[in-house]
Structure 1
């Protein structure tokens, strides 16, 4: 695969001289962990459904990573080849990533919620050579899905199945003790450099198809260094991650961050609020990061169980605004500092509240820019907006991505390096920002982006649908939910159950399905026929607010 990460080269000199790009890769950080304390506990992987727990030292994790590297190499994976991984949080996910890194392969994590509709595009677009899936996860047979897809994926050489049996099993292909004799053949010069693309991760946008975000070690670790400095995180802070590591939150802050800190990390394959509270108590967790619903659930779990979470210093909450009562309750119950932040797959956390700030900052703002990152809010005339004025949010700096794979025309970066986030924001006189909305047509449900245009395109295919528009409406727990406004064709009807069945037949991830259906005779539109979604949002807010 040839990666067109055209946004990297122009920044190398300036970012390096400024000290933001330190040319350290995940391999370098892992080597440091291994050298410092090889027998220290590194990773604890918990399976909520089975109750299994795998505790691995750095030495044991090193062995598994080498096996994965050799296994992938035997499958024909080489430098700059893409390996797609749909595994839930677990030691297999971590070993697969580290194995890719050791042979110069590019890691492509994909969410376990994705089905054929999303995955066929992603694996084709990324020219993936190997697809690693669980046999069954949350009652869904991923192996069967992967095998159905294979005829339509000409670049795919092998499907690897975790917790499966037979010749395609993870244990046979990527974790085989027979590979140990070849460990000495893994050469350091096979590794990718700090400015090479090492991660390909897809994000939903407004074009109707996912976009492949390209990151390097320097773009991601420049963010993590500034992030950990701001929060005062050290190797003494055990990191707990229950957000999926196939999402940038879980990947960067649950996997890459502890490698850099040389800290122990714990991962959970599914969310269980009582189990999370217990883990924080027994394993003395110091840091975790997730969206608002997790914070609400964890606070309730501690109230119900009486778990001692006094070790938890920081709960960083991003994705949606945090209601004041949620912050107050969490800090009272958990004893942790609740920190708000804002960021994107394209650049990681960009703005973060400081731990020394009053609690109100996490309620009323999304934080200050991290060192190495700049923000600019532009008014309707394209000029920098003053304090308190809403405008389009642009960012530039060290952690900005390398570009969208095969779509440089969509990079949205101007000649001065400013990336158009598509968000609307305002800043106060001290530089704290507040995200006010989005200029792009997307809904954020529980910190997960819903690609509105893509869902609308599917519903337009329904024989009963004449017109459709999907908008978000506020939800206390998830931030937003999706509602489909539909105008049926004359003489036709559409029920909520009909809509769900149709989306299921198109193999769309269930998290993308609208959770409300409104049937209308017509939709508000401009003179040119463009649907006025702001009017639909207003209508829905009023209805939800009075319901």
Structure 2
């Protein structure tokens, strides 16, 4: 696979000279952790449904990662090939990534909620050679889905199934103890360099199809180093991650961050607030990161269950604004510092509130940029705006991505290196920003981006639909939910259940389905016929009394 990460080379010399790009990879950090304490506990993997737990030392992770690397090589995977992984948070996810890294393969994590509609595009666009899936997760048969997609994926050579039997089972294909005899053949020569694309991760955009974000070790670790420094994180911390590691939040801050810190990390394959509260108590968790609904749930679990959360120093919230009462309640029940942040798949966490800031900062702002990152708020004329005025948010700096795979025309980076985030924000005199809205047509539901155009395009195919517009409306727990406004064709009707059945038949991830349906005779539109979504949003807000 040839990766067109054209945004790396123009800034490489400046980033290295400034000390932001330290030319270290995940392999380098893992080697250091292994050398410092091979018998130290590194990873704990928890299955919520079964209650199973597996603890692995750095030496045990090292062995399993080598086996995966040998196994992938036997499957024909080489340097620069893409391996797609749909596993939930688990030790299998971690060792698959580590094996890919040692082999020089590019890791492509995809959300377990994705179905044929999303995955067929991603695997074909990314030319994935191997697709790693769970046999069953949350009652869904991922193996059957993957096998059904195979005829439409010409580059896909192997489907590997965690929990599956036969030669394609994860344990047989990737963890065969017989592979240990070939561990010495997995050498440093096969590893990717710090400026090579090592991660391909898809994000929803306004083009109607996902975009493949390309990252290198330098772009990601140039974010993680100042992130850890700002929060005072070190190898003494215990990191808990229940946000999916197929999201950049889970991947960077639940996997790459503890590797860099040489810190112990714990992953949960599903969200269970009571179990999370117990793990924080028993394992003395000190840091976690998730969206606002998780913070609300965890506070409730501790209050109801009486567990001890005193080890938790920092709960970093990103994805949606944090209501003041939520922060106050969390501070009172958990005792942890609640830190608000803002970022994107394309550049990781960009802004964070300082731990020394008053709690109100996490309610009223999304923080100040990390070192190595610059922000601009621009007006419609493209010129920077003064403090306090809302405008388009631009980002420039060390952690910006390498570009969108095979779509350089969508990179949204100008000649001076400024990336157009598509968000509307304002900045105060002290440099703190507040995200005010989005110029791009995306709804964020519980930190999950809903690709509006993609969902609308499916609903337009329904024989009863003449016009459709999907907009977000406020939700106390998830930040936003999606509402579909539909104008039926003359003599036709559409029910909520019929809409759901239609989306199900198109194999769209259930998290993308609108949770509300409004039938209208007409939709507000401009003279040119463009639907005025702001008017629809206002309608929903007015109905809710907001």
The answer to whether TM tops 0.5 is: yes
Deviation of residue 533 (structure 1)? 0.2
Deviation of residue 544 (structure 1)? 2.5
CA distances 1:99-137 after superposition (whole Å, capped 9, x unpaired): 000010000000000000000000000000000000000
Q: 2:108, 2:419 → 1: CA distance?
A: 23
Partner of 2:111: 111
Mapping 1:41-440, distance limit 5 Å: 41-440=41-440
* Partner SS for 2:544: helix
Q: 1:331, 1:173 → 2: CA distance?
A: 47
Q: 2:197, 2:380 → 1: CA distance?
A: 35
Deviation of residue 152 (structure 1)? 0.4
Q: 1:155, 1:442 → 2: CA distance?
A: 31
Question: Which sections of structure 1, spanning at least 5 residues, go unmatched?
Answer: none
Q: 2:76, 2:413 → 1: CA distance?
A: 36
Deviation of residue 162 (structure 1)? 0.1
Q: 1:189, 1:306 → 2: CA distance?
A: 52
Deviation of residue 545 (structure 1)? 2.8
Q: 2:248, 2:136 → 1: CA distance?
A: 23
Q: 1:409, 1:451 → 2: CA distance?
A: 19
Q: 1:308, 1:200 → 2: CA distance?
A: 39
Partner of 2:38: 38
Equivalent residue pairs, number: 546
Partner of 1:3: 3
Deviation of residue 380 (structure 1)? 2.0
* Partner SS for 1:160: strand
Q: 2:460, 2:380 → 1: CA distance?
A: 33
TM-score scaled by structure 2?
1.00
* Partner SS for 1:545: coil
Partner of 1:447: 447
Deviation of residue 187 (structure 1)? 1.1
Q: 2:396, 2:431 → 1: CA distance?
A: 15
CA distances 1:227-273 after superposition (whole Å, capped 9, x unpaired): 00100101101000000000000000000000000000000000000
Q: 1:412, 1:376 → 2: CA distance?
A: 14
Question: Which sections of structure 2, spanning at least 5 residues, go unmatched?
Answer: none
Deviation of residue 145 (structure 1)? 0.1
1:527 equivalent in alignment to 2:527: yes
* Partner SS for 1:294: helix
1:496 equivalent in alignment to 2:487: no
TM-score scaled by structure 1?
1.00
Deviation of residue 379 (structure 1)? 1.4
Partner of 1:540: 540
Q: 2:92, 2:321 → 1: CA distance?
A: 33
Q: 2:103, 2:132 → 1: CA distance?
A: 17
* Partner SS for 2:392: strand
Q: 1:353, 1:173 → 2: CA distance?
A: 45
| Two-structure CA RMSD over aligned residues (Å) | 0.5
Deviation of residue 167 (structure 1)? 1.3
Partner of 2:511: 511
* Partner SS for 2:278: helix
Deviation of residue 382 (structure 1)? 1.3
Q: 1:163, 1:477 → 2: CA distance?
A: 34
Partner of 1:456: 456
Deviation of residue 410 (structure 1)? 0.0
